[in-house]
């Protein structure tokens, strides 16, 4: 089960009102390599993960990704909440605004709605862990692109934190893969 903790994982600071940047950051709210995809992917793969190490990691990293999803939604919200309509008109956020107002919504930066087609769960732990490692690297790459386009120092600081988490998650999934391979080798012999 889950219990909500009334705090963000990272002390988010946003220095500007910037609907254009908000529209780009939304990539990680509802894009293929975003935090929602990550959370749902890992939490869904748990039922068919045979090792305890893998079960624990999918649970804890999946949960952390949902905390990141909350951070991304907070960045988007803070970047637009004080924007008057003339600061929204003509920006890439305008198309989002006419449907969702200032609410974050899980679609990618190009406006495509989030879909479970972004994730996989194969009941094949080797395939799943490889997918997870690739997902972490793709998320890292996306954060690097976002850091390049960010012109808000507070937002950049949070993006750097999130990028770093993807590096750590990749490392942990790699260890889980090695443990899984040993587990499967042992099963063959006994």
Partner 1 sequence: MDKEQMRLLKELMEVEFVVLETALYLNTHPNDERALRLHNTYSQKLSELESLYQARYGPLKNTGMSGCPWAYIDGPWPWEINFNMS
Query: Which residues are catalytic, by number?
Result: 35, 65, 68, 136, 166, 169
120 binds, among partner 1, Fe ion, none (CB under 5 to 8 A by kind): none
Q: Which stretch binds Fe ion (CB under 5 A): 75-83, 102-110, 145-153, 161-169?
A: 161-169
Buried b (16+ CB within 10 A) or exposed e, 46-77: beebebeebbebbeebbebbbbbbbbbbbbbe
Given a contact cutoff of 8 angstroms between Cβ atoms, the answer to whether 146 and 24 are in contact is yes
DSSP secondary structure code for residue 113 in this structure = B
- Please state the closest distance from residue 138 (CB atom) to partner 1, in A: 20
Query: Which residue in 101, 123, 125, 99 sits closest to 113, CA to CA?
Result: 99
Residue 137 structure tokens: 């690297």
33: CB partners within 8 A, 6+ apart: 118, 135, 138, 139, 141, 142
- 149 vs 168, which CB is nearer to partner 1? 168
74 binds, among Fe ion, partner 1, none (CB under 5 to 8 A by kind): partner 1
- Please state the closest distance from residue 81 (CB atom) to partner 1, in A: 9
- 23 vs 61, which CB is nearer to partner 1? 61
128 binds, among partner 1, Fe ion, none (CB under 5 to 8 A by kind): none
Chain residues binding partner 1 by CB under 8 A are 3-15, 53, 56-57, 60-61, 64, 70, 73-74, 77-78, 154, 168-169, 172, 175-176, 179
Q: Which stretch binds Fe ion (CB under 5 A): 1-9, 79-87, 106-114, 168-176?
A: 168-176
82 binds, among partner 1, Fe ion, none (CB under 5 to 8 A by kind): none
- 14 vs 146, which CB is nearer to partner 1? 14
111: CB partners within 8 A, 6+ apart: 95, 96
For position 41 contacting Fe ion by CB under 5 A, the verdict is no
- 2 vs 190, which CB is nearer to partner 1? 2
92: CB partners within 8 A, 6+ apart: 19, 20, 23, 24, 109
């Amino acid at each position: 089960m889950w219990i909500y903790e009334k705090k963000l994982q990272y002390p988010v600071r946003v220095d500007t009102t910037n609907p254009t940047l908000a529209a780009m950051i939304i990539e990680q709210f509802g894009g293929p390599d975003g935090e929602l995809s990550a959370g749902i992917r890992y939490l869904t793969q748990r039922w068919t993960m045979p090792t305890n190490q893998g079960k624990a990691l999918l649970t804890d990293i999946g949960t952390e990704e949902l905390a990141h999803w909350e951070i991304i939604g907070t960045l988007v919200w803070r970047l637009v909440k004080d924007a008057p309509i003339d600061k929204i008109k003509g920006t890439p956020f305008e198309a989002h605004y006419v449907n969702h107002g200032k609410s974050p919504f899980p679609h990618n930066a190009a406006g495509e709605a989030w879909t479970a087609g972004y994730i996989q769960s194969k009941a094949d732990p080797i395939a799943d862990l490889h997918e997870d490692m690739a997902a972490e690297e793709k998320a890292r790459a996306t954060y690097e692109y976002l850091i390049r386009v960010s012109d808000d120092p507070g937002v950049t600081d949070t993006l750097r934190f999130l990028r770093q988490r993807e590096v750590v998650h990749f490392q942990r999934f790699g260890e889980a893969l090695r443990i899984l391979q040993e587990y499967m080798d042992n099963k063959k012999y006994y």
